[in-house]
Amino acid sequence: MAKYILEYLWLDGYEPVANLRGKTQIKEFKSFPKLSELPWWGFDGSSTRQAEGRSSDCMLKPVAIYPDAARGENCALVMCEVYMPDKKTPHPSNARATIPDDPGAWFGFEQEYFLYKNGRPLGFPCGPNNYPYPQGLYYTGVGYDAVGSIAREIVDKHLELCLAAGINHEGINAEVAKGQWEFQIFGKGSKNAADQVWVARYLLMRLCEKYEVDVNFHCKPLGKDVDWNGSGMHSNFSTTYMREVGGKDYFEALMGAFDKYKNEHIAVYGPDNHLRLTGLHETQSIDKFNYGVANRGASVRVPHSFVDNGYKGYLEDRRPNSQGDPYKIAGRILQTVATVPTPGGKAKQK
Ligand code: ADP
Ligand code: MN
Ligand code: MN
Ligand code: MN
């Protein structure tokens, strides 16, 4: 038997954006533990806006485990769902529990974020009214002027930690604004990619502690009145039906449903999105829904490959923002998809 250091992670009850919380327990196992070997645990919900002080227990149900290479050997990150003390009722803050189980649903999230130091993006000159060169050479750029001196070290280290954890990063890139970056995570299964995004966010925030750098996930941290991009979390999705059957009629019916439920989507696509979805900076405005082939100004971008393959494949919903909860985003997308009839299968009601 060996001692394992397990960091149990969960989302707290703060609105409109939940925070990651974590605490450590040490347990003995013969080898790296399987999910089914991990015990439930509890925490004081009165300190996380998840319970009253008089009855403060909340329960943690492990739902995914990842090696925690940054911490050391025999260390793991354990993503958890929050339950009521009866261990049967999901806590109201537990959005993951509302996602339908569907191994055929695949998601790819493109997480954009800013690295911040002293209240300004990393590499911005000191002072609230001082800006670096206008946007242009930062996106995928190289050199001190473009990316500064420590951002790339953080971003590369984060990638290394995520890969060591078994997180399925597909790529990283410097983004359009100075101090802004992106990583992409892909996962098969309705909850898998979302779990990985939360753990990747955790690893990034924890890594940045020692650089005295903050991760700013706000979708428009510099405000809407300056010519600096906001941050999104484009959500690429497909179902077995979309990949294998698809077709133009189904696609149009699907987009009809996305139009019909546009407000329900926006409601879970991250706060303050009206600051970002303005119709400028590669976005559609928040009150409109449209789609377009290779159109980065559309709500949903249809990849060329989708049309070329007879309307089969994945679609990119460009509206979710960087602060959105991937559990809520995936859940809402699948809820809308389920309202569209598929020949041979029956659509569920909203
Ligand atoms: P762009 O920046 O041009 O929008 P990216 O390469 O950053 O494109 O992101 C594309 C995303 O699409 C990736 O996260 C990838 O995992 C995802 N993706 C690719 N194929 C599928 C699929 N069949 N189902 C869901 N997502 C997919
Ligand atoms: Mn991208
Ligand atoms: Mn991007
Ligand atoms: Mn994209």
Domain boundaries, the chain: 2-94, 106-337
pLDDT in tens, 90-128: 999 999 999 999 999 999 999 999 999 999 999 999 888
Checking phi first, is residue 129 left (phi over 0); if not, alpha (psi -120 to 50) or beta? alpha
Q: How far apart are CA 21 and CA 38, in angstroms?
A: 18
From the CA of 181, the nearest ligand is 3
> Taking CA 68 as the corner, what is the angle to CA 62 and CA 74, rounded to the nearest 5 degrees?
90
Question: 322 alpha carbon to ligand 4 midpoint, in Å?
Answer: 12
Q: Which stretches in the chain have pLDDT values below 70? A: 345-350
Fold of the domain built from segment(s) 2-94: Ubiquitin-like (UB roll) (3.10.20)
The candidate with the shortest Cα–Cα distance to 329, out of 239, 240, 250, 237, is 237
Closest atom of ligand 1 to CA, residue 296: 4
Q: Is 238 in the pocket of ligand 1 (CB under 6 A)?
A: yes
Q: How far apart are CA 78 and CA 35, in angstroms?
A: 9
pLDDT of 348 reads: 54
Closest atom of ligand 1 to CA, residue 236: 26
Q: How far apart are CA 146 and CA 190, in angstroms?
A: 37
The letter for the amino acid at 234 is H
Q: How far apart are CA 207 and CA 201, in angstroms?
A: 10
The candidate with the shortest Cα–Cα distance to 319, out of 293, 341, 291, is 291
pLDDT of 346 reads: 56
User: Is 106-337 in CATH node 3.30.590.10?
Assistant: yes
CB-based neighbours (< 5 A) of ligand 2, an ion? 110
The candidate with the shortest Cα–Cα distance to 122, out of 181, 42, 200, is 181
pLDDT of 259 reads: 97
Please, which residues have CB within 8 angstroms of residue 238's CB and are 6 or more apart in sequence? Answer: 105, 106, 313, 314, 315
Question: 200 alpha carbon to ligand 1 midpoint, in Å?
Answer: 17
Question: 159 alpha carbon to ligand 3 midpoint, in Å?
Answer: 16
Q: What count of Cα atoms within 13 Å lies in the side-chain half-sphere of residue 278?
A: 16
Please tell me whether the peptide bond between 326 and the residue prior to it is cis, using omega within 30 degrees of 0: no
Q: Is 314 in the pocket of ligand 1 (CB under 6 A)?
A: yes
pLDDT in tens, 16-55: 999 999 999 999 999 999 999 999 999 999 999 999 877 8
For 55, other C-beta atoms within 10 Å of its C-beta total: 11
Q: Is 318 in the pocket of ligand 1 (CB under 6 A)?
A: no
Q: How far apart are CA 65 and CA 175, in angstroms?
A: 30
pLDDT in tens, 130-143: 899 999 999 999 99
Tokens matching residue 212: 């005295």
Nearest C-alpha to atom 13 of ligand 1 is from which residue? 108
Contact of 197 with 326, CB cutoff 8 Å: yes
Tell me how long the chain is. 350
Tokens matching residue 211: 């650089």
pLDDT of 350 reads: 46
Sign of CA pseudo-dihedral 69, 70, 73, 79: negative
The candidate with the shortest Cα–Cα distance to 101, out of 175, 190, 13, is 190
Q: How far apart are CA 214 and CA 255, in angstroms?
A: 38
Would you give the distance in Å from CA 208 to the centre of its chain? 18
